[in-house]
Structure 1
Amino acid sequence: MRVFESAALGPLTLRNRVIKAATFEGRTPEALVTDDLIEFHRTVAAGGVGMTTVAYCASSPEGRTDRHQMWMRPEAVPGLTRLTDAIHAEGAAASAQIGHAGPVANSVSNRATALAPSWQISPLSLRLTRTATVSDIARIVADHARAARIAADSGFDAVELHFGHNYFVSSFLSPALNRRSDGFGGSLVNRARVARAVADAVRADVGTDLAVIAKLNMDDGVPGGFWLEESLAVAQWLESDGSLDAIELTAGSSLKNPMYLFRGDAPLREFAASFPQPQRAGIRLVGSRFLRAYPYREAYLLDSARQFRDAVRMPLILLGGISNRSTMDLAMSEGFEFVAMARALLREPDLINSMQKEDRSTSLCIHCNRCMPTIYSGTRCVLTPSRSLG
């Protein structure tokens, strides 16, 4: 496989094997598409990726991390259609990341109680989450299917189901967060029921209209959390169910350990500056317990991801430290069908075109992670604002 050759992804054919990974864009202040969001994705599409992922497209209003995130409803369709049209005009495919934030949702911002498999105090809102009932679970599963249908009707080519980072589905998988004693807790078979039900419901609704991808945690990075051995089993079950066209492998917990996914510098000062007092002082005082720094290296999730490549036959998308052409070639040589990148494209939206022209083989991204706090004001690279997306 060669990274810049066209490739099949379910019913799609992408012009190459590079996917712009989902990163909340911070460009939907009214929870609807804006011209700024369209330009963000048009720019990266024009830069050469095979597909760009729109994030975050919540399945339910209470499933947003805050009320400024988009949620999938009929009112969103006109804007979403303009967005996909703009992406397609640049020759790229469009994917919608669909999910429910669960315990990661900020109930104060959403003005709705956050749902979790078991109650806990949310570090985001400092309020108790509510234990999801069986009826809640059934509704959220159905909401994912409805959201996927809205994506299809809006011209998207794929949906990415968010099964990672301790969002709703991921929180059910995690023994640290799921303390239930009913049919959705305890054994891994029970804890995986929500993930399998969501994938099945989405596939049943969209059929072959869309490619269906799941973003699955390999490891929560949290003591007692979801771990590699269990994730391998879930990946095998999802493959045997036949509802997915690919799995994107990820790690970390937005609730408890977000830097486990990103690696590199922890931008504590910049995050604190994004909040008013007294939150700002609190973040400076105890934020290092939440934003832990991990050394960056290229392809930092590869060692874990290799085990999935040996365990399943379905296409896999390698994420994490994909910044250089040599890393992309390594992923292809190891049998991964696609690579996903984000921070490098914030720094250089046209990086893929440059690589294809052999003008550049290495990204300028230094993984300072100072882009992360910009989600509150429009996600961008702060080092090169004149070249930032949007």
Structure 2
Amino acid sequence: MTTTDRTVPDVFSPGRIGPLTLRNRTIKAATYEGLSHQGRVTRDLVDFHVRHAAGGVGMTTVAYCAVSPEGRTDRHQVLWTPESLPGLQKLTAAVHAEGAAASAQIGHAGPVANPKGNGAPALSPSRHFHKTTLSFAKEATRDDLRRIVQDHARAARMAIEAGFDAVEVHLGHNYLASSFLSPKINHRTDSYGGSLENRARFAREIMTAVREAVDGRIAIIAKMNMDDGVPGGFWLDEAIAVTRWLESDGTVDALEMTAGSSLSNPMYLFKGDAPLEAFADVMPQPIKLGVKLVGNKVLREYPYRDGYLLEDARQIRAAVKLPMILLGGITNREIMDRAMAGGFEFVAMARALLREPDLVNRIEADAGVRSLCNHNNRCMPTNFTGTRCVLVDRSTTRSETWGTDAGYVS
């Protein structure tokens, strides 16, 4: 798709993803908020998304909502259980009251999961040692995979019941589906390993199950790696093939391309500073010491520029006709317009909105507005205590769980 094939949309015009029409083409990207408690919604989590909805985005994404108990990276992450539904319903209603849509990011963390917090072993395509948890992830069995596929379908059905307008299926960052795609992690010799077609089988089964569960009632977005950022990992040429398969399967309404490995190279996605001291401060021993001594081997620094994923994402754009969401360094009207001119239908913003939740409204009012985010990435370690920009004062609030129809409970 080129600008000669289509009318270039205004980023502040309505945009359509499957059955969903957004008031504009900006999306609050999924960033784990660290504001849920024991798998349930808190007042702080609702307020977090209401701020972004009131700030002008067309849709805000709740992250990360685990489909299985062992698939969490933090024991407090939202888990799709009947007990979580009342709080999620209150969250979506509050977002809708501000005129925005709400998306739920669903997935299974696989080898990135925290086995100690979850009280269950992490799962991986093949046995894998996780440096952060200092433990081995066990090889997922066929029964595990069948169960997890159905867990995704169940989560999608519950998302509809909770009032979400879309689900974003996490196929990136070496979470479980992504780890199957990666030849560096997936050493299986069965029908889920070896060739790219085999390594993509699990992701395609998940997307098929979600499509059947949703049945056109809400939009389906796939967030998928373009590359892992590590030698021997999943790479762009393979990503092009997989996105074409997803398109031909008819299981996806839009694609959001990402990059990097939460296991091996997390900063590859974010660009900018690598705040080693800030990461070390929130880690338990002996991991804290390890981060200080050798953290620069994993937390590498990459130079930041606006729209830093645009060039690679353009190669996916040229290969498929699905609507696409550009992620990575969306901070001003200029890069938004470049995305629209380059064939992207939507843009997703994360760090810039942590700094200024009302940035979208301000850019719409004045095209010359520039983000105040300086890409120091010290927001990243805050997801253990409530994701925020450290340059913004945060008043002390009591977080309560929205757990019953009667209202808040402690």
TM-score, length of structure 1 as denominator length:
0.98
Secondary structure of the structure 2 residue equivalent to 1:378? coil
**Could you tell me which residue of structure 2 aligns to residue 20 of structure 1?**
28
Give the distance between the partners of 1:243 and 1:306, measured in 2 at CA: 21
SS at the partner of 1:149?
A: helix
> Taking structure 1 as reference, are residues 276 and 104 closer, same or farther at Cα in structure 2, changes over 3 Å only?
closer
Query: Where does the alignment leave 5 or more consecutive residues of structure 2 unmatched?
Result: 1-8, 400-410
Answer yes or no: is the 8 Å Cα contact 1:351–1:360 preserved in 2: no
Q: Deviations over 1:220-269 (max 9, x none)?
A: 00110000000000000000000110010000001110000000000111
Q: Tell whether 2:231 aligns with 1:185.
A: no
Using the TM superposition, give the Cα deviation of residue 111 of structure 1 relative to its aligned residue in structure 2, in angstroms.
Answer: 1.0
Contact 1:348 1:388 in 2 (8 A): no
Closer, same or farther: CA 276–182 of 1 in aligned 2, 3 Å: closer
Q: Tell me the residue number matched to 1:61.
A: 69
Cα offsets for 1:3-55 (capped at 9, x unmatched): 00011111011000000000000001211100000000001000000000000
Which 5+ residue runs of structure 1 have no aligned equivalent?
A: none
Name the CA shift for 1:359/1:191 in 2 (closer, same or farther; >3 Å). Answer: closer
C-alpha distance in 1, partners of 2:277/2:336? 32
Kindly indicate whether residue 60 of structure 2 is the aligned counterpart of residue 52 of structure 1.
yes
- Structure 1 range deviating more: 105-114 or 257-266: 105-114
Aligned AA for 1:31?
G
Asked whether 1:323 is paired with 2:334, we answer no
Q: In 1, Cα distance between the equivalents of 2:12 and 2:172?
A: 28
CA distance in 2 between counterparts of 1:242 and 1:250 reads: 21
Task: Give the aligned partner of residue 369 of structure 1.
Answer: 377
Shift of 1:110: 1.1
Per-residue deviation at 1:109? 1.4
Residue 277 (structure 2) aligns with: 269
> How does 1:339-378 map onto structure 2 within 5 Å?
339-358=347-366, 361-378=369-386
Are the structure 2 counterparts of residues 388 and 41 from structure 1 closer, same or farther at C-alpha, using a change threshold of 3 Å? farther
Residue number in structure 1 paired with 2:89: 81
Q: Is 1:288 matched with 2:296? A: yes
Letter aligned with residue 229 of structure 2: G
Aligned to 2:390: 382
Corresponding residue number in structure 2 for 1:167? 175
Q: 2:159 aligns with which of 148, 151, 165?
A: 151
Alpha-carbon deviation of 1:276? 3.5
Q: 1:215 aligns with which of 195, 200, 223?
A: 223
1:120-162 Cα offsets, whole Å, 9 max, x none, are 1111221111100111101000000000111110000000000
CA contact (8 A) 1:347 1:388 kept: no
The residue that corresponds to 1:30 in the other structure is 38
Larger relative contact order (C-alpha < 8 A, sep ≥ 6)?
A: 2
Question: What CA distance in whole angstroms lies between the structure 1 residues aligned with 2:335 and 2:358?
Answer: 18
Distance 1:371 1:133 in 2: 36
Matching residue's letter, 1:145? A
2:214 is matched with: 206
RMSD of Structure 2 on Structure 1 (CA): 1.4
Residue identity opposite 2:228 in structure 1: D
Contact 2:333 2:367 (C-alpha < 8 Å) held by counterparts: no
Q: Is the 8 A contact 1:380 1:388 kept in 2?
A: no
Determine helix, strand or coil for the equivalent of 1:121: strand
Answer yes or no: is the 8 Å Cα contact 2:126–2:140 preserved in 1: yes
Q: Tell me, yes or no, if structure 1 residue 94 matches structure 2 residue 94.
A: no
Asked whether the equivalents of residues 132 and 287 of structure 2 are also in contact (C-alpha less than 8 Å), the reply is no
The alpha-carbon distance between structure 1 residues 101 and 313, as it changes in their structure 2 partners (threshold 3 A), is same
**Deviations 1:260-282, CA, capped at 9 Å, x for gaps:** 00000001111111123333222
Corresponding residue pairs, total: 390
List per-residue Cα deviations over 1:331-357 (Å, max 9, x = no partner).
000010000010000000000111111
| Contact 1:20–1:51 (CA under 8 A) maintained in structure 2 | yes
Q: Does 1:332 align with 2:340?
A: yes
Whether the aligned pair in 2 keeps the contact of 1:15 and 1:92 (CA below 8 Å) is yes
Q: Secondary structure at the match of 1:269?
A: helix
What's the CA shift string for 1:91-133, capped at 9, x where partnerless? Answer: 0000000000000001111110000000011112211111001
Q: Kindly provide the amino acid, as one letter, of the partner of residue 109 in structure 1.
A: G
What is the match of residue 129 of structure 2? 121
Question: What corresponds to 2:286 in structure 1?
Answer: 278
Give identity over the alignment, percent. 63
Q: Any conservation in 2 of the 1:217–1:249 contact (CA below 8 Å)?
A: yes
